[in-house]
Structure 1
């Protein structure tokens, strides 16, 4: 019979969300255990946002040189993929060991293996030896995984994790999808020298973002040699003597060396046997209330696997998991969220926060659409496209923004702070920022 371990709180999923919750719980004097079946540290540092941004750093360096080509900078810069991948691997390979070391240093117990519930408060963890874990309260932070394709030859495609560990960049790449990951990886592959074909099932790229900004981004992707096929599906992938063929729904075939599927993500809730614990879920994830409680009042869900209306990004998962921990520790107020910025790390970057610009005027807000390309902050770096829209309420307070530029990830954070502080023109003007920077431009958006 499996050994049974007892804890005040057990957390399944040792990514940023689970780790944050565990730290808060152990700091409050409760016993806690983290259960992980794959890589300690989770998606973001191992095969998600962090390694992606290491690769993107080389793309940004190359782009900044190209922006000033003929305007003060001579010569060409090329990405050495093998060397860049070595840099990425040195970072990611250390993550699991560093994570376990941190758990040990903070007195957080940990069990490795795949877990599933056998009743309302107990799971079996299948590792080298089966172990039962029983806890009073649970937090589920098991995240999501890449969705599969249901087409002939789907097994010949790769997912985002494999892309982030490619030993070499092929000369020709087909990417299936029209969301964040598809655009980001298309940008990276193109900068690394690949001919990229982006196959989008619908008529739009990056649905949910301001269409005018997406159109500008699309022009920029085209300038970088990325070919986009709208209202198109890959219906089959087949091996050839030279690589692969991707058959398109209108009948053409793309010879290629690699096919990446970036067709969304699905929750890992289907691996937990939640029915044994009385926890309700569906295709959108684990159902939770305003306290992030599931239908079992002692089990909470946070992050990508929780069925909430918030963006499924690392920062939200971290925030929700810490909130769930606070409820277990006695907090009795429903969760409230600050403004949540989202960023597509393409070339250029596209970011948004707060009231969506595309719906703002219909909802009674005013919108300012500003071409920043000739502002000194962007002129000096030679950016070919820099644009922002800001949403102001009746009191001229900032409530939303969308930004397209190489510095969009930085500027959107300033807008997020202004929204959370309910700042208007005078509050921004009264602050002193280093000049010239995106921050020092803030007063000109009002």
Structure 2
């Protein structure tokens, strides 16, 4: 049977773009189908626009800190519509850039929703396309709590298109998305309440890191409602009324539900191709292969490790294996993760709790440092840094590194190289410090 393409990719996000261009570089005839702007969640309504918002919010304190360094006091004014317009322009620029990169790579872009007709045939918009191999890179989407009035809340998808800055802002959820937007809005001057069912944010991260971030966010002015849930949301004349499980109520201007994400499989008609689903995700093996030998899936739709660099790595590994005669799998160990909260947090490797559970408490030693970075000394700000190394005593190997504070992600990215290579605490100690920096604390912990 002859096919229109050697490879058809469903979804022009991080994983799909990486896979399509890499496969085309090996001589494959490739097409990619997309219903939205090219770039996926990260570029359109995720990592990129969110980080731009983080940068914007950071200037609120910078103006104040500058006075301690001899700069004249000014009264800055912030324009939410101007920020949103600038972010939207950048998102569209990046989307056009990705389209041009596809063109240069020789990948055909087909605009339209892709739906399986059978194992090798898909309906994309108003045309049918056949392919020898198919890669599903459909991504994920935010989910809402099924509560009365839940439709009145927004998700992270809508955050970048609000016409006005909400002055009273509530965040439901204690994950990284909720923490990041809570910090952004609070730094921009909004009253922010973050509602979490537990007593701590960032479930799954190192316990000390979680405590340090929550303390820092509280000092920033974020109000936490812990141990409660939102039972319903009602529209009133003065705003959105939240009704809590403890019987209390609160009026806000906007509610963000940051209550998790799920694979976006709606409308793919996977049954028509016989693709197996496990729960809400596409089931794949270590080679990103589904139960159909010619159909593969990468990225958030597989719900393995839902991070942009992971999706890119999975997509490239798939292309190398299937079209480049360079078979390889992805390792999911020691993947660094960052939370661009305020304060910022970043980790690589095992948390203290996970290390003790795996190796035993007696075989784990923890090194830590807490201090105020030099940048904040003249303003006499309360900003603090936590740095932490988790070490297995018998081998002296560093199992995990964690940081909360200024430039955490930039610093941990380099530390992650050492952790991935299996560096020991002695290797860290033998590394000459770069002074004066915050990063030097990782190689000078006694």
Q: Which residue of 2 aligns with 1:272?
A: 268
Structure 2 match to 1:314: 308
Match of 1:290 in 2: 286
The separation in 1 between residues aligned to 2:147 and 2:306, in whole angstroms, is: 27
TM-aligned CA deviation for residue 78 of structure 1: 5.6
1:418 corresponds to which residue?
A: 418
Number of residue pairs matched by the alignment: 437
Corresponding position: 1:96 with 2:95: yes
Normalising by structure 1, report the TM-score: 0.91
Say whether residues 1:352 and 2:335 are aligned partners.
Answer: no
Give the 3 Å change call, closer, same or farther, for CA 402–77 of structure 1 in structure 2: farther
* Segment of structure 1 superposing worse, 244-253 or 426-435: 426-435
Contact 1:414 1:439 in 2 (8 A): no
| Correspondent of 1:191 among 169, 187, 193 | 187
CA distance in 2, matches of 1:215, 1:429: 27
Residues in 1 aligned to 2:33 and 2:269: alpha-carbon distance in whole angstroms: 15
Q: What TM-score do you get using the length of structure 2 for normalisation?
A: 0.91
Q: Which moved more, 1:234-243 or 1:259-268?
A: 234-243
Residue 146 (structure 1) aligns with: 142
Shift of 1:445: 3.8
In 1, distance between residues paired with 2:444 and 2:106? 50
For 2:443 and 2:76, how far apart are their aligned partners in 1? 36
Structure 1 gaps of 5+ residues are none
Gaps of 5+ in 2: none
**Cα deviation per residue 1:339-389 (whole Å; 9 max; x = unaligned)?**
21111110001111112222323423322122133x657757856210011
Taking the aligned partners of 2:147 and 2:54, their CA distance within structure 1 comes to 31
C-alpha distance in 1 between matches for 2:5 and 2:230: 49
CA distance in 1, matches of 2:428, 2:250: 52
Q: How big is each residue's C-alpha offset from its partner over 1:70-94, in whole Å with a ceiling of 9 and x where there is no partner? A: 5756646564323322321221122
Name the counterpart of 1:216.
Answer: 212
Superposed, 1:222-371 pairs within 5 Å as 222-308=218-304, 311-329=305-323, 330-337=325-332, 339-362=334-357, 363=359, 364-371=363-370
Cα distance in 2 for residues equivalent to 1:384 and 1:390? 21
SS at match of 1:43: helix
CA distance in 2, matches of 1:406, 1:78: 24
Deviation at 1:315, TM superposition (A): 0.8
Q: Give the C-alpha shift of residue 100 in structure 1.
A: 1.9
Q: Aligned with 2:265: secondary structure?
A: helix
| Greater shift in the superposed pair: 75-84 or 185-194 | 75-84
Whether the 8 Å CA contact 1:117–1:274 is kept in 2: the answer is yes
Counterpart secondary structure, 2:4: strand
- CA shift in 2, pair 1:213/1:79, >3 Å: farther
**Distance in 1, Cα, partners of 2:378 & 2:436:** 10
Q: Does structure 2 retain, via aligned residues, the 8 Å contact 1:12–1:36?
A: yes
Match of 2:27 in 1: 29
Q: Which moved more, 1:67-76 or 1:314-323?
A: 67-76
1:17 aligned to 2:54?
no
Q: Distance in 1 between matches of 2:169 and 2:258?
A: 13
Which whole-Å CA distance do the structure 2 matches of 1:235 and 1:413 have between them?
A: 40
Partner residue in 2 for 1:58? 56
Deviation at 1:335, TM superposition (A): 3.3
